[in-house]
Structure 1
Amino acid sequence: MDARQRMEQLVEQLNHYSYHYYTLDQPLISDKEYDALYDELTALEAETGVTLPDSPTIRVGGELLEGFKPHRHLAPLWSLDKAQNEEQLLNWNGRVQRLIADYNSKNPDHPLPDPTYVVELKFDGLTLNLTYSDGKLVQASTRGNGAVGEGILAQVKTIKSVPLTIPYREGTIEVQGEGIMNLSVLSKYNETAAEPLKNARNAAAGALRNLNPKTTAERKLSAFFYNVGYSDNIQFADHREMMDFLKENRFKVNPYITYHNDFAQVMEELHQIVERRSTLDYLIDGAVIKITDMRIREALGYTDKFPRWAVAFKFEAEETTTILESVSWNVGRTGKVTPIAKVEPVELAGVTVQNCTLNNIGDIERKNLKFALGTRVFIRRSNDVIPEILGKVTDEQDGEEIIFPTECPACGSTLEQRGAHLFCNNRLDCKPQIVSRITHFASRDAMDIETFSEKTAEQLYEEVHIHEPADLYTLSFEDLIKLERFGEKKANNLLEAIEQSKGRDLAAFLFALGIPNTGKSTTKVLADHFRSLQAVMNASAEELTALPDIGDIVADSIVSFFADPLNQAGIQKMLDLGVEAKAPEEQVAPPADSFFNGKTVVLTGTLHKLTRDEAGARLEALGAKVTGSVSKKTDVVVAGEKAGSKLAKAQALGITVIEDEDEFIRLLEGGNFFS
């Protein structure tokens, strides 16, 4: 056996032992035996100058990285709606039941089954999104904004419970999980650390978002996995099937996962998790309840931010007291002026708290905080990054008064009170409003102007007098090259990104405008329904409320926004400068007489006249649903050359099989099927 063969043998052995040790918690050999094999592999790598791509020696961390590169996820990573108490949890389940009943009333021939539930722990770490292509780990990233995260592949490779290769090799998948630091590992780390870590969550997040992978490796992180967010070649009937897939592919799945037919069982399980929480060797901050059946999930869909088929049940938040020192006032994109409280620094839930939210002047009065400066207050760190002030410790008005501003702290304009909020109406010359509007306009979910940041918006406002989004399209090379931090390359890159943004679609443009009370899903509804910017601008409140998920408040916001002469002028200026606000592409209805219309189809084996992607796209255009696994719900299996287990399973289940590629193409082109 030569050195290369021995290295391959050692890598396979060591990865097998690591899987049993770190993922299954079932060690097969002693540490001494493992170390001997590891040392032998290290010596061979030094001798040959070769390191195999899945070698365990990679996990010690590599060279210092220059910076994090953005990674666009193949599928969105959604946030979860939150329930703070049992009443809110029951309300969520009630909405689920109503949505299912509504769907079934409209689809009596294909009703959804009764919902069943899965309960998982909600880990308090850092969300990971791993990309595997043909069985190899090719990318890892943070959640980021749900669409784009930071690439942290080198850091994630140091986590020994993350498989570098998996048995599934039939395309690309994205797998989501949570990077964590076990409490026992944290305790041991702090025994010898020069700078002890305060909290396991921050320790994990700090390690994974560290440009030195060696630091990540030193933290000895672990990870649990709970979702396949994207696949180009496999689908699952339910959550249990997806979890089985993860286990079969050597991902570490948390053992505390339970399935329930009745929601009362879910509630009982949550009580048990609360009792079990203190015995766990990792941090959790709640539990996640999901609908088990994937067909129900698809029917329920998503809001702007959350899947309707899942909810996070948050444990009771941690609270403490501290001194309220001062209150400052921040101006936002819409002109809303928000109070921010500075408190005496205090440790809460593993972090040092210095700033707290106060929401608005109504919140200050409701919580008896008007005369609270210099007094002790209750604070709570729950779902928000910034903790919340709950109220004064005493009921007496024994502190200094919080003075509500009458003028904008940024521009000096007279403030207007609307309800519980203060607003600055100086849209044309209030720097924080303008900078925030331009930053929002350029953001990824809006016009997606690459490399643009809030700092860029501020610099353009100060030095080039960019006062509205439309002004971005008037920028020249001469404007930018004279700015600090702008060389020729950066100036040209920004101008090119601005030019490319002119072609964004109508939904993105509407979102970029920042219409109050209007999110991404609403702007997509507007774009798909009206199909032109002018039609949206001319829409009446009655027309708008007839659309899904648009109520009176949102409709009034849209109508008022487009009735404003300043907004009209800004939009016209952008159109005159070449912004297209493209209408969405026409959705062509699939031919009703196609053999594949309404059928669930599985592609397996090798096709020679079409690629797998081409075949899938043509099937979907004909109204088929293309899945990656054969089940009783499968209608047709298209079997190319070297079709294996999927073909055998289809034959065993009596599913229609098409093995002749020419016959398959004939059917795609509208031919009749002859059994």
Structure 2
Amino acid sequence: MTVLETIQSLRTELNQHNYNYYVLDKPTISDFDFDAKLKQLQDLENAHPQFFDENSPTQRVGGTITKNFNTVEHEFRMYSLDNSYSKEDLLDWQTRCQKILGDVSLEFTCELKYDGASISISYENGKLVRAVTRGDGFKGDDVTNNIKTIKSVPLQLNNGFPEKFDIRGEIILPFSGFEKMNQELIEIGETPYSNPRNTASGSLKLQDSAEVAKRPLECLLYSMIGNNLPIDSQFEVLELSRKLGFKVPNESKLAKSIEEVFEFIEYWDKNRHNLPYETDGVVVKVNNIHFQEELGYTAKSPRWAMAYKFKAEQVSTILQSISYQVGRTGAITPVANLEPVQLAGTIVKRASLHNADQIAKLDIRIGDEVFVEKGGEIIPKIIGVAQRGSQEQPTAYISHCPECNSELIRNEGEANHYCPNYYGCPPQIIGRIQHFITRKAMDIEGLGGETVALLFNAGLVQNYADLYDLKKEQVVVLDRMADKSAENLISGIEKSKEITFDRVLYALGIRYVGETVAKKLAKHYKNIDNLANATIIDLITVDEIGERIAQSVVDFFQNLDNITIINKLKEVGLQFELNEVSTSVSNKLEGKIFVVSGVFEIYSRDDLKKAIEDNGGKVGSSISAKTNYVVAGANMGPSKLEKANQLKIEIIDEYQFQKMIND
């Protein structure tokens, strides 16, 4: 078998495994074996760049930076749907269709209405060529690079595809992925996302496709548009889409009558909460494609389709009190304490009030009867006042921390109030230590969040460095702490000294420094002292580090208490230096900062960045006056090109770069 045949065989096999896992949910290979085959393909493609294919499975990791999304005209307009909210509305719609079509027997395709971001994906000769957002229906944004990272979107179709067509669907974020993303945000002291739909929509416009690749997005398809397509009905569209490799939910139904449509609606109105993703209704379509063409369109909507919207489950209950929680970063979160009420299958006792602005906007007062909804079917929230209670004065937001009584601050442009008592406010101290011990950070076996609170309340720890002073006899007397448990705790603390520098850096709890950022900073600065001495200007030259993160890092290391704690952690033996095998090839690029932009032929973007660093250079994420060179490939971002020209920074291609390091 030739090299090209091997590459093509691996691509076909990996595409099938992706389809089995992400579309059928029936994997036939272990993650380890899949990764091994993917690595084999990557190595072959790198060694033989003449066989590059932008739709190879290796390209799904992203990495392309898009500063400005090009506006693209849809070949076939994307219409919106008319909404209905009752059976009477649907009967009226059926009557209108029947009036235009005459005395014919109508069948209907019923599909769940997915609550996501609309997308149109174009395929030519079985290959994905473009993905465009809905926009205004006539034009949308080209988000092809981001869509290619979604593994349920096929890059190469199975046999039997039309020569050219667009397929339409919704980009959604399943509940499980949404909850995981929010948990990660909470761990780094960030505000969680409000709902899956907005998060999915916002993901499509992220500038770095590598960030999109990290998000567990899915694409659910429901429509195929094109000229002379080999289909006669909407139900055939769904079946053909599945055969070609698209993810099409199985909940759809071919209804022989409007009565069967009503049965479908009634069933899913009751059972939609069991679905793994958001749905807010049912889309009913005249099944016959020729009837659809005859019915045509209004100025905004197809006459042959109607969306039936479920009523958002909503209840009213009494607001008994408002409590205020303090997070580990000092952010204050107001929480509504409610008279218990059943909502969407669960008993709700508390609901989010977000911040002072939200309380003032809704004019919520203790004693009010309030409407409660589940935002995104997950997080209970108050959406309004049903009936005013006895409280005459508007709710006054607290001015002092409920835990330490420090006066709260609110920074300009921020929605949240903060307690500034970083080292004296108990929930902040406990929260930072709880973050420090988590699995992704120091992973201290035998030590949980409740035990941290016990240690703090017993006066045994005031910060995470104090953990390393603990003795078995001190902890064994704590509640529910047996002799063996105390032994395991001390052993786990000792073992944590082996944790690598990037995880130690994440464990420190610097605001906005999550796992990924910690890895990038550790790799770039090599040790804690280099990072502590970095300026904001230095930091923003690091790939993916913006001003907000840079300012937070600088602020952290300017605090003398933090430096004292780090020095203590150094003394007890934590890893504050990156122990990696040097890949340095030369120092030819020492002192030079490069920015990489575009698509390349002989390098992947990651390989190009690695070559810069291996030869002593630094890779910047954005162009500034300190940038020495821009390495530009095809489709270089126009804003980067403009800025490079303004600052008179030399632009070179990958061949000139290769000559630079080889000379």
Give the TM-score normalised by the residue count of structure 2.
0.48
Greater RCO (CA < 8 Å, at least 6 residues apart): 2
Give the TM-score normalised by the residue count of structure 1.
0.47
